[in-house]
Amino acid sequence: MKTAKKGEWFQLIIPKDWNQFTIDHILREVWHGPKKLIHQLKMEKLVTVNGEQINWHKPLNSGDRFELKFFSEEEFGVIPAYFDIDVLYEDDHLLIVNKPQGMDTHPNEPSQTNTLANAVAFYLQAKGEYRRVLHIHRLDKDTTGAILFAKHSFIGAILDRMLEERQIKRTYVALVEGHIARRKATINQPIGKDRHHPTRRRISQTGQTAITHYKVLKEYKSKKCTLIQCRLDTGRTHQIRVHLSSIGHPLLGDVLYGSEASFPRQALHAIRLAFIHPLTGEKIECFAPFIDEPGIFPSEAFELINVHKDDTY
């Protein structure tokens, strides 16, 4: 699909398989855009076809120039602060960044400046892109790996829905204590807050649905630990940490959930992020290398991970 950014406008040439589609159909049925933002686009006349305002129910022809005003300048929503970020993928609509350990995903209070969101704001500011920083999901402070950000509210809302509907595939690699008997399994246990601890979560039948799939990659008998690969169907706070602890195999270094304090940090890394770009139709697949921490994961971890043909374990 041929697309381009023209100043504040996103431009798309209507492909043959969209011939006779209407503006309304594209926004609601193809992109599944949020009703509120679709209404805003219509009321503020932020959509044109071949440079003109037209009836939203008029059939379009392949080759028509479809334009939407997505890129107006906005406040970042956080204080820009410099940090040398590792960008895994970027286009006009979204950004995927490899988060280091010891850094929050976003500020917990307005004055905080040492988070990945602050660093992303500085990065965009340096490029002259004044966009509200919208993280689509989070990683714990000491978890590393790929995090997805949206550059405007329309795609942000679509990506939020895609995440909820499990259309964004997230793969993690982890080192856990002990040797897991079942080589491949699904942990389907609801997670809720722990009333006795301000940050900890626990298995709770009154909690939110949480589903984690895992498979064993390799056992390290001398170190009494196992390298595993995880895939999430849901995104609850501390989900992998809680689920693995619940089966007696907490992450190495995760003292909050029962591991010994003999490891530098919790051994969890978001290694892969994959989805179909909602506006361009491209397949986006990013792999996040291990950064700044030689020795946390075995050097063979990348080679052992099989994610291309096995999204269903």
Residue with tokens 């590792």: 86
Catalytic residue of the set 86, 91, 140, 233: 140
Per the annotation, the verdict on 84 as an active-site residue is no
> Residue 110: CB partners within 8 Å, gap ≥ 6?
79
Question: Is residue 196 exposed (0-12), middle (13-18) or buried (19+ Cβ within 10 Å)?
Answer: exposed
CA dihedral 202, 204, 206, 210 (to 10 degrees): 80
Which of 94, 160, 82, 100 shows the shortest CA–CA distance to 288? 100
Active-site positions read 140
